[in-house]
Structure 1
Amino acid sequence: MGCPFDCIFCNQKKISSTISAPGPADIKEIVDKHLNTIPSDSHIEIAFFGGSFTAIDKELQIEYLAAVQPYLKNGQVDSIRLSTRPDFIDSHILELLSEYGVKTIELGVQSLNDEVLKKSCRVYNVDDVFKASHLIKSFDIKLGIQLMIGLPGDKYEYDMDTAKKTISLKPDMVRIYPTLVIKDTALEVLYEKGWYSPLSLDEAVNTTKEMYLYFIANDIDVIRMGLYPSEELRSSDTVVAGPFHPAFGELVEQEVFYDQVNYLLKLVNKEDGWGNSLFI
Structure 2
Amino acid sequence: MHFRQDFCLRVKPAKPCYCSLSAMSRVSLTFLWEIPARTVPVFSVFIPFFGCPRRCVFCSQHDQTGQQAVPLDEILARAAAGLRSRRTQGRPPAELAFYGGTFTALAPRDLDACLDMADSLRRDGCITRFRCSTRPDCLDAALLARLRRHGCRTVELGIQSFSDTALQAAERHYSGRQAAGACRLVRDAGLALGVQLLPGMPGHEPEDFLADVRRALALGADMLRFYPCLVLAGTELARRWQQGLYTPWPLPLTLSLLARGWLDARRAGVPVIRMGLAPEPGMEAALLAGPADRNLGGRVLGRALWLHVCACLLRARGEEAARSEVRAAALLDALLADGEVPGGLPRARALYLPRACQGFFRGPGDELGRAWAALGITRRALVWTAGQAACLHLDA
TM-score by length of 1: 0.90
Per the alignment, in what secondary structure is the counterpart of residue 109 of structure 1? strand
The SS at the match of 2:347 is helix
State the percentage of identical aligned residues. 29
- Residue range with higher mean Cα deviation, 33-42 or 16-25: 33-42
CA RMSD of aligned residues (A): 2.1
Q: Do structure 1's residue 267 and structure 2's residue 371 form an aligned pair? A: no
**Are residues 1:99 and 2:149 paired?**
yes
Q: Which amino acid aligns with 1:229?
A: P
Q: CA deviation at 1:98?
A: 1.5
Question: Separation in 1 of the partners of 2:225 and 2:105?
Answer: 21
Q: Where do 4+ consecutive residues of structure 1 move more than 3 Å?
A: 34-43, 257-265
Picking from 197, 208, 217, the partner of 1:147 is 197
Number of matched pairs: 272
Q: Which moved more, 1:70-79 or 1:207-216?
A: 70-79
SS at match of 2:227: strand
Alignment of structure 1 residues 30-179 onto 2, 5 Å: 30-34=79-83, 36=85, 40=90, 42=92, 44-179=94-229
Q: Name 1:272's counterpart in structure 2.
A: none
**Deviates further, 36-45 or 8-17:** 36-45
Alignment deviations for residues 17-51 of structure 1 (CA, whole Å, 9 cap, x no partner): 22224523542432332554588564511111111
Distance in 1 between the 2:129 and 2:97 partners?
9
Deviates further, 9-18 or 47-56 = 9-18
Partner of 2:60: 11
Partner Cα separation in structure 2 for residue 57 and residue 92 of structure 1: 16
Task: Name the structure 2 match of 1:252.
Answer: 300
Q: Is the 8 A contact 2:118 2:151 kept in 1?
A: no
Q: For the residues of structure 1 that align with 2:280 and 2:152, how far apart are their CA atoms?
A: 26
How far did residue 63 of structure 1 move?
1.1
Aligned residues of 1:27 and 1:68 also touching (Cα < 8 A): no
Shift of 1:234: 2.1
**Unaligned stretches of 5+ residues in structure 2:** 1-49, 314-345, 351-379, 385-396
Change (3 A) 1:16 1:277: closer
Residues in 1 aligned to 2:224 and 2:241: alpha-carbon distance in whole angstroms:
28
Q: Secondary structure at the match of 2:203?
A: coil
Using structure 2 for the length normalisation, give the TM-score: 0.65
CA distance in 2: counterparts of 1:277 and 1:35, whole angstroms: 51
Within the candidate set 7, 10, 27, 2:76 is matched to 27
Comparing 161-170 with 9-18, greater Cα deviation is found at 9-18
Between structure 1 and structure 2, the one with the greater Rg is 2
Q: Deviations over 1:124-168 (max 9, x none)?
A: 111111211111111111110000101111111111111111111
Q: Which amino acid aligns with 1:242?
A: G
State how far apart, in whole Å, the 1-side matches of 2:57 and 2:284 are.
Answer: 21
Match of 2:7 in 1: none
Note the residue ranges of structure 1 that are not aligned, 5 or more in a row.
Answer: 270-275
